[in-house]
C-alpha cells in the first residue's frame, strides 16, 4: 500500500506524515507497522487497513493537486468518501484524521464478522441472506458485497455456493456496512457533531445515496456517523456520475479495484469516458506507475487544449 511511493515522492510522503502526526501517539506505531516487512497487525485489521486507506487516498489526491490537476467531481468508495470529503472541503484534514483513528480504535471490539464478494446481482442474493447478513455493497451489476456476523455469513456462503454462485472472502475482519456495527453509531454521531462540517466546494457523488452530496447532508453528523452500517452503492453512484457527461476517471488509492469495476461501464467500454489508476494493480513499481499516469494526464490535457 504505497510504501515505495512514500520513499520516493516528497509530496506524497509529506501528506502521509501529516496524517501520522495528526493522530498522535498511534501514528508512529501505525507508520512503523505500515513500513515493516513483519507487521504486528495483519493488513485486513480494522486499525491498520481503514486508517491507511483514508491516508493513502488523501495523499494521492494531494499529489494530483500538486501537479495542477483539479477534480471537477469526486466519488469515494466507503472510507474513500471520507478522503473525498476532505479534498472537497467538507471535513478539516486533521479533524477527519483523528476521528478516523478514534473510530477504528473503537471498532476493534466489534462483533466478529466479515464480508463476502458474490458474483451475482443483489436481487438474486437477498433471498439467501439471514441472521443480520445484508447486502453491504453494489460494486457492479453482478458484483454484490454481503456482510454480517461470522457464523451466519458462513452459512450464506455455503448456500450461495451450493447454487453454483461464485463467492470470495473480502479481506476484512470487520462486518462493515451491516447492522452489526449499529452500536458504534451514537458515539460517532456525537463525535461528528463536535467537528467542523461544511458544504462541499467540489461536487461529491455520494456512494451511499448515488446522488450528489447535498449541502444539508454534508453538514449532518448523522450522514457520516451511519456510514459503516449503510450499503456502498458504488455502481449506481458511478452511473450517476457518468450520466453527467464524459470524464477521465482517476483512481486515487492503492491497487486498481475501482478501475477494474469502472472499465465495465458502457460509457468506458464505448470510449466516451476513460479510466486512469495511479497505482499498480498488484504490489510493484509504484513510482513507475505514477510517472506513466502523470504522462497520460499531460497528454489528455494537451489533447483537450488542442481540441
Q: Is residue 306 pLDDT above 70, yes or no?
A: no
CATH superfamily of 3-110+178-306: Malonyl-Coenzyme A Acyl Carrier Protein, domain 2 (3.40.366.10)
Confidence band for 304, pLDDT divided at 50, 70 and 90: low
pLDDT tens digits for range 178-191: 999 999 999 999 99
Q: Is residue 281 pLDDT above 70, yes or no?
A: yes
Q: Is residue 74 pLDDT above 70, yes or no?
A: yes
Q: What's the pLDDT score for residue 303?
A: 63
* Mean of pLDDT values over 286-297: 94
pLDDT tens digits for range 193-252: 999 999 999 999 999 999 999 999 999 999 999 999 999 999 999 999 999 999 999 999
> Nearest to residue 133, comparing CAs of 123, 125, 124?
125
Angle CA(210)–CA(211)–CA(217) in degrees, nearest 5?
A: 110
Say if residues 175 and 123 touch (Cβ distance below 8 Å).
no
Q: What's the pLDDT score for residue 270?
A: 97
Give residue limits of the domains in the chain.
3-110+178-306, 113-170
Q: Is residue 89 pLDDT above 80, yes or no?
A: yes
Q: What's the pLDDT score for residue 300?
A: 84
Q: What's the pLDDT score for residue 232?
A: 98
pLDDT tens digits for range 263-272: 999 999 999 9
Q: What's the pLDDT score for residue 132?
A: 92
> Nearest to residue 181, comparing CAs of 145, 228, 213, 134?
228
> What's this model's pTM, rounded to 2 decimal places?
0.95
Q: What's the pLDDT score for residue 146?
A: 98
Cα atoms found within 13 Å of the Cα of residue 76, Cβ hemisphere only = 23
pLDDT cut 90: percent of the chain above it:
90
Q: Is residue 307 pLDDT above 60, yes or no?
A: no
- What pairs with residue 207 in β-bridges? none
Query: Among 3.30.70.1710, 3.30.413.10, 3.40.930.10, 3.30.70.250, what is the CATH number of 113-170?
Result: 3.30.70.250
- What pairs with residue 75 in β-bridges? 205
> Nearest to residue 74, comparing CAs of 46, 65, 297?
65
Reading the block at residue 120, the C-alpha cell is 451475482
3-state secondary structure of 300: helix
> Nearest to residue 200, comparing CAs of 185, 221, 214, 181?
214
pLDDT, greater one: 177 or 43: 177
3-state SS record for 7-71: HHCHHHHHHHHHHHHHCCHHHHHHHHHHHCCCCCCCCCCHHHHHHHHHHHHHHHHHHHHHCCCCC
Q: Is residue 131 pLDDT above 80, yes or no?
A: yes
* Mean pLDDT, the chain, integer: 95
- What pairs with residue 212 in β-bridges? 205
pLDDT tens digits for range 8-56: 999 999 999 999 999 999 999 999 999 998 999 888 889 999 999 999 9
* Mean of pLDDT values over 293-305: 81
Cα atoms found within 13 Å of the Cα of residue 27, Cβ hemisphere only = 16
Rounded-to-integer distance, Cα 266 and Cα 82, Å = 27
Q: Is residue 273 pLDDT above 90, yes or no?
A: yes
Rounded-to-integer distance, Cα 223 and Cα 120, Å = 28
In the block, residue with C-alpha cell 494530483: 64
- DSSP for 56-123 reads HHHHHHHHHHHTT---S-EE--THHHHHHHHHTTSB-HHHHHHHHHHHHHHHTTSPSEEEEEESS-HH
Amino acid at each position: 500500500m504505497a510504501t515505495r511511493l512514500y520513499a520516493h515522492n516528497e509530496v506524497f510522503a509529506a501528506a502521509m506524515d501529516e496524517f501520522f502526526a495528526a493522530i498522535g501517539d498511534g501514528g508512529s506505531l501505525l507508520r512503523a507497522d505500515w513500513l515493516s516487512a513483519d507487521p504486528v497487525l495483519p493488513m485486513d485489521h480494522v486499525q491498520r487497513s481503514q486508517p491507511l486507506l483514508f491516508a493513502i487516498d488523501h495523499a494521492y489526491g494531494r499529489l494530483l493537486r500538486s501537479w495542477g490537476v483539479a477534480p471537477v467531481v469526486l466519488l469515494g468508495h466507503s472510507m474513500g468518501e471520507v478522503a473525498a470529503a476532505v479534498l472537497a472541503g467538507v471535513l478539516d484534514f486533521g479533524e477527519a484524521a483523528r476521528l478516523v483513528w478514534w473510530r477504528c480504535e473503537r471498532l476493534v471490539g466489534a462483533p466478529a464478522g466479515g464480508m463476502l464478494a458474490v458474483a451475482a446481482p443483489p436481487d438474486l442474493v437477498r433471498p439467501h441472506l439471514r441472521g443480520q447478513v445484508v447486502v453491504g455493497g453494489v460494486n457492479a451489476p453482478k458484483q454484490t458485497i454481503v456482510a454480517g456476523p461470522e457464523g451466519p455469513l458462513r452459512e450464506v456462503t455455503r448456500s450461495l455456493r451450493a447454487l453454483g454462485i461464485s463467492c470470495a472472502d473480502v479481506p476484512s475482519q470487520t462486518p462493515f456496512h451491516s447492522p452489526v456495527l449499529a452500536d458504534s453509531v451514537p458515539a460517532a454521531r456525537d463525535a461528528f457533531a463536535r467537528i467542523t462540517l461544511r458544504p462541499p466546494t467540489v461536487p461529491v457523488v455520494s456512494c451511499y445515496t448515488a446522488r450528489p452530496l447535498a449541502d444539508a447532508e454534508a453538514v449532518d453528523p448523522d450522514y457520516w456517523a451511519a456510514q459503516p452500517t449503510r450499503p456502498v452503492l458504488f455502481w449506481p453512484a458511478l452511473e450517476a456520475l457518468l450520466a453527467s457527461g464524459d470524464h477521465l476517471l482517476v483512481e486515487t488509492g492503492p491497487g486498481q479495484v475501482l478501475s477494474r469495476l469502472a472499465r465495465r461501464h458502457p460509457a468506458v467500454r464505448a470510449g466516451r469516458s476513460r479510466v486512469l489508476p495511479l497505482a499498480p494493480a498488484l504490489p510493484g513499481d509504484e513510482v513507475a506507475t505514477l510517472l506513466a499516469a502523470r504522462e497520460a494526464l499531460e497528454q489528455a490535457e494537451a489533447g483537450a487544449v488542442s481540441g
